[in-house]
Structure 1
Amino acid sequence: MQAEDLVRTRIRDVLATPGLDGVVAAYFSPDGPFAGTSFDLVGENPPNVLTLDDLLATTLLDISWRPLAIRKLLGEGDHVNAALTAIRADLDLWNAGPDDLQSATVLHRWLDDLPGVGPVIASKLLARKRPRLVPVHDKIVLRALGAPKDQLWATLATALKESALRNEIERLRPAGVDSPSLLRLLDVAIWIRHSRSRNARDARDVVGVPGPSVPSPTREAVGAHVRYA
């Protein structure tokens, strides 16, 4: 099976979960314990400028920034802003070409190398700045999708070229929740289906969604430092 076919199958396995739409709606409820739409909407988010609000938004996804990393980001803000300018803000992942993914990879690698950051936190910051292009990817998402670690973005891009699959993901969008990108909806669906956190478990229990069953990771999906394009 081709990598993109495996990813499509794994996504559809998640989407087939009974009650998933209800638990995704709970994630985006303004009265719930989750980041919800605040990840996208809190503070200011100019597309080509890194702001303190961006750092705040990422902390809503259960991460923290080390002081050295913050000083590096603020001290080299012009470098980050230039790198953001090289990444199109109006592009969906499934329409991205190799050059587009390479531009995003360059900044991801730079962020990855900051003290205490790594690939997961780097992806969360990029997902805040380029929500249509860069998916959040932690170990739960990597295992659930089974994508090769060194080709994650490209594999997911190919898988999502299927418009029917995108429509299936889009049907999870709760009424009145416009800000999250399709990639964010997919991330939330995977995370809340498979996370072992107390809040995710409680939300699943209310709706009656079964507990986590993360597929065993493929050898290619395991690892710390990753190239995604």
Structure 2
Amino acid sequence: MDRTSLPPMSRGVYADGRTYELPANWTPAEPAVLEVATAQALAALGAGAGEPDKVRRSLVKYFDPDGKYAGALFSTIGPSQSSADDITAADLLAVTTLSMTLDPRQIRQLLDPSSKRTQVLRALRQIDTSIPVQDLGSGGLDPRPMLSAISDLYRELRATPKPSSTRWVFASKLAARKRPNLLPVRDNVVCKFLAGERNLSHTTVGSHDIDLQIFGYLMSHPRVRDALGHWWSELHAEHGSVVDDVTPLRLLDVALWNAGIASGYAKV
């Protein structure tokens, strides 16, 4: 087939003007969705219409090692980095720190030899550990195979035994534990907050392909990155090395979650 007759390739966009290729079955995020999400993120970080003092208090409280929230424990519990291409008991324990209750069948499927574990690890091993969400397609890399593997990973994790309403949340949290610079923690609180006043039933925010593009856009936005750098420094001054392994993407997750809870969205 003549390449001139091929349909135009779908591309994701970054806030700094760069673009990257999307798999054929991924829909590009609409500019209006990115615009709303950016305004919401800046507010959550106290860099837009937000309240910096309130943001500081909520982040310091969340990452307090003597507090009731997961804080840095989600990132640091167990040897996550040394087992980046495996699913371990420490990974599942980390997920439970984010208010997830795991089904025993779910645990067995992911830890014991099984077809489910084989499929999950096959997808996981195709997802690069070094590429952050704001650098897809860097260096001439075609990110489509990896993005397709991300879809495969989410699909396999969603299919583990669990009430259907929270399967996607479990998939998101475990995937974020394994690829903390690339895959964000997502739940209804974060997705509803990013969608602003939109009704989620009428928008694609909440779908992993759209959400990944949104987080890539946010993490490439200079004001978002500046705010994240500021808050990481503040947290380090408050809690020291406790936050050393908290990635900027995870810090953004937490800021969005805090803002969503403060806005009255129900936890999942």
**TM band (smaller chain):** 0.7 to 0.9
Aligned to 2:123: 83
Aligned to 2:224: 165
Deviations 1:16-38 (A, max 9, x none): 22321232022111111111111
> Where does 1:45-194 land on structure 2 (aligned, <5 Å)?
45=80, 46-74=83-111, 75-76=113-114, 77-96=117-136, 97-116=143-162, 118-146=167-195, 148-150=205-207, 151-173=210-232, 174-175=235-236, 176=240, 177-194=243-260
Greater Cα radius of gyration, structure 1 or 2: 2
Deviations 1:158-217 (A, max 9, x none): 23322332121232211132111111101111222332xxxxxxxxxxxxxxxx2258xx
Deviations 1:51-96 (A, max 9, x none): 0110001000010111221122123333322221100111111112
Given that residues 45 and 224 in structure 2 are in contact (C-alpha distance below 8 angstroms), is that contact kept between their aligned partners in structure 1? no
Aligned to 2:52: 18
d(CA) in 2 for partners of 1:72 and 1:163?
A: 41
Residue 172 of structure 1 aligns to a residue in which SS?
A: helix
Residue 171 of structure 1 aligns to a residue in which SS?
A: helix
Aligned length: 199
d(CA) in 2 for partners of 1:84 and 1:8?
A: 29
d(CA) in 2 for partners of 1:59 and 1:179?
A: 19
Could you tell me which runs of 5 or more consecutive residues in structure 2 were left unpaired when the two chains were aligned.
Answer: 1-30, 137-142, 196-203
Normalised to the residue count of structure 2, the TM-score between the two structures is 0.69
d(CA) in 2 for partners of 1:165 and 1:14?
A: 10
**C-alpha distance 134-5 of structure 1, shift in aligned 2 (>3 A):** same
Of 127-136 and 93-102, more deviation after overlay is shown by 93-102
Of 160-169 and 107-116, more deviation after overlay is shown by 160-169
Residue 186 of structure 1 aligns to a residue in which SS?
A: helix
Normalised to the residue count of structure 1, the TM-score between the two structures is 0.80
Which letter maps to 2:128?
R
Of 116-125 and 14-23, more deviation after overlay is shown by 14-23
